[in-house]
Amino acid sequence: MHPAYTIGLDYGTNSVRALVVDVRSGEEIGTCVFEYPSGERGLLLDRSNPDLTRQNPRDYLDGLQASVKGALAMAGSRDGFDPAHVIGIGVDTTGSTPIPVDELGRPLAFQPRFRDDLNAYVWLWRDHTGHAEAAQITETARRLRPQYLAKCGGTYSAEWYWSKILHCLNVAPDVFDAAHTWVEHADWIPAVLTGTERPTALRRSVCAAGHKAMFSREWGGYPDAEFLAALDPRLVPLRDALPDRTYNVADTAGGLTEEWATRLGLRAGTPVAIGAFDAHLGAVGAGIGRGTLVKIIGTSTCDLMVSPLDADIADVPGLCGIVPESVLPGQFGMEAGQSAVGDIFNWFVEVVKPAGKGHRELTAEAERLRPGESGLLVLDWHNGNRTVLVDQRLTGLIVGLTLHTTPAEIYRALVEATAFGARVIMERYEEYADRVTRVVNCGGISASNRMVMQIYADVMGRPVEISRSPQTCALGAAIAGAVAAGSEDGGYADFGSAMEAMTGVQDVVFKPDPERRKTYDRLYALYRQMHDAFGVKGAGGDMYRVMKALLEIRDAARR
C-alpha cells in the first residue's frame, strides 16, 4: 500500500496553519503558518468601539494557498513524499464567525461598494457588538421558545450567529439587505475548495449550526419563522434561504475543484471533509472519549466532552451547547469555554509590561510562590465570561493588592484565576453530564508552561495530561480528512480507528498535590463567592450591577 497523507487546515484568530500528516502514524511531516496581513495581526478594529472585531475574507484565501504550499514544500523534503499521496483534506476555523455573502456565496466584502464598510466583512467570533441583540434573543426565546435556550446553556451569546446578524440589521441595514445569507467561516472554506459556495449547494456543518445558530433536529432545523419574526420580521426571508439539514465531520463537502487542485498542487477530486470549529476538531486531535475533558488552551479556551447519543444528558445551564454529532458521529458534543486565558497572560506581559519581564521570567518567579501566599484573587473576566455565565459585559477584577504586591504575584494570580474558571466548567459538566476522570490540555501554553499545568491539576484535582501534538486542531482536521478519504483509499472508515492511529499524549502527567489543593479549595470557595456576586443577577448585595454600570459609563465617555 502506498503511503497516505492528509492535510489539516486550521484557521485561527491571527493566522492559518496547514499541517501534512502521515495517516498511518499520525506523524506531522510538514506545516506552515500564514499570518493574516490585514489590520492588526489580522483583526480589523474600530478605536471608538472596543467590542468590534472583524476580518478580511481575502486573508483566508491568500492564507489557504500559501499555507498549503508551504506545508507541502516542507513535507517534500521527506524521502518518498509525493503530493499525489494526499488523500483528504479537513478544515477547522474559529466560530461563530459568520460572513455575509451574495447569492453566489461570495463575501460582500469583495464588492467595491462595501470595501470601506466593516459590517460587510467577517464578523470574528470575539466581536461583541451584538450584546444588546443577544439579550433580546435570550429574552424572546425565554418567552417563546425556551427549548432553544436549553441546548445552548440558557443564554444566547453576543458571539453567536443570530446576535451578529441582528446587530448588522440594526446598524447596517444596507449590508443586511445585500446579504443573501450568512455563512460560517468553517462552512465557507470547504465550500470554496469544492466549488459549492452557492447557497443552494452549500453543506453546512452541524457543529456551527447546532452550537451557534440554534439548529436542532428536535424542532426541525433552524429557529422557526415565527420566532425570528418576533425578533425582527426582516429576518424571515433569511430563514427561508437556510437548509433543513446539516452534516457532520464524517461527511464530505465534495471533491477538490480543478482550480484549487492546480493552485495547491494536489489531485482534483480529493475529498474535503465538512468543516468544524477549531476546538471540536482539536478535541478529536487530542483523542477525546467519554470521561475525558479536553481543554484547548490558547488566547481563550474551549472545553469539550462527548457522551453517547443514547446517554441521558440533561440540558446544562451555561454551556455553549450540547449538539448531537458536533464533535464525533454517534456522540453528543458538549462545548464550554473561557473567554480569555492566554489573552490575559499576554495582556499582562504585552500591555501592562510589568518590569519589562516576559512570560518565562514571570513564570520562574511565580513558580516559587505558594498557593495563597500573595493574598490575591482574580476574576478572569477581562474578555467577559463564556461559561457558565455567558455574559460579555463582565470585566476582570483583582482583589488583595497591597503596597508589596509584585508582578510575579499578579501573574500567578491571573493563572490561578483561569484555573478556577476551568474548575467551574468541570464542575458544571460533572453536575449535569459525566464525571471527568482525566483532563487533556492542548495548545501552546500546555506544552510550554509546566507551572500553569501544575496549577490546573492542583486546582481541578484531576490528573492533567498534555496532547502529544502541538497542533491538535490541525491534526484533528487532518483526521477528518482521513475519514473523508475512507478506508478504501488509504484512510479510515471511522473516527475511532483514525484517532487510535493518529493521536496520543505526552509521557508527563501532572498530578494534584493534596496540600496545595487544600489551599486552593479555600481560594476557590472565595472565587465562587465573587463569581456569583459579580456575575449572577440578584446575588451578592447588588455587586452584579457594578461591572455593568462601569461599562455603561465607559461607553458613554467614549461616544
Site residues for a copy of itself per CB under 8 A: 50, 340, 343-344, 347, 351-356, 370-377, 382-383, 395-407, 410, 519, 522-523, 526, 529-530, 533-534, 539-543, 546-547, 549-551, 553-554, 556-558
Helix (H, G, I), strand (E, B) or coil at 201: coil
Total length of the chain: 559
**Residue (489 or 542) nearer to a copy of itself, CB:** 542
Which residues, listed in sequence order, are joined to residue 18 by a DSSP beta bridge?
Answer: 9, 32
**Residue (237 or 375) nearer to a copy of itself, CB:** 375
Write down the least CB distance from residue 541 to a copy of itself, Å: 3
Write down the least CB distance from residue 423 to a copy of itself, Å: 17
Helix (H, G, I), strand (E, B) or coil at 497: helix
Write down the least CB distance from residue 542 to a copy of itself, Å: 7
Q: Which among 529, 528, 534, 559 has a CA at the least distance from the CA of 546?
A: 534
Write down the least CB distance from residue 381 to a copy of itself, Å: 8
Tally of CB atoms within 10 A around 115: 11
**Residue (211 or 531) nearer to a copy of itself, CB:** 531
Tell me how far the alpha carbon of residue 167 is from its chain's centroid: 21
**Residue (113 or 522) nearer to a copy of itself, CB:** 522
Task: Quote the radius of gyration of the chain (alpha carbons, Å).
Answer: 23
**Residue (10 or 343) nearer to a copy of itself, CB:** 343
- Give the integer Cα–Cα distance in Å for 14 and 189: 16
Write down the least CB distance from residue 512 to a copy of itself, Å: 17
**Residue (196 or 299) nearer to a copy of itself, CB:** 299
User: Angle at CA 187, nearest 5°, toward 186 and 190?
Assistant: 95
**Residue (353 or 435) nearer to a copy of itself, CB:** 353
Q: Which among 527, 163, 212 has a CA at the least distance from the CA of 381?
A: 527
Write down the least CB distance from residue 402 to a copy of itself, Å: 5
- Give the integer Cα–Cα distance in Å for 121 and 89: 26
**Residue (330 or 372) nearer to a copy of itself, CB:** 372
- Name residue, grid cell 492528509: 6
User: Angle at CA 193, nearest 5°, toward 23 and 16?
Assistant: 70
- Do 366 and 410 form a contact (C-beta atoms < 8 A)? no
Write down the least CB distance from residue 280 to a copy of itself, Å: 24
Question: Residue 156 corresponds to which cell in the numbers above?
Answer: 444566547
- Do 160 and 128 form a contact (C-beta atoms < 8 A)? no
Write down the least CB distance from residue 384 to a copy of itself, Å: 9
Tally of CB atoms within 10 A around 525: 9
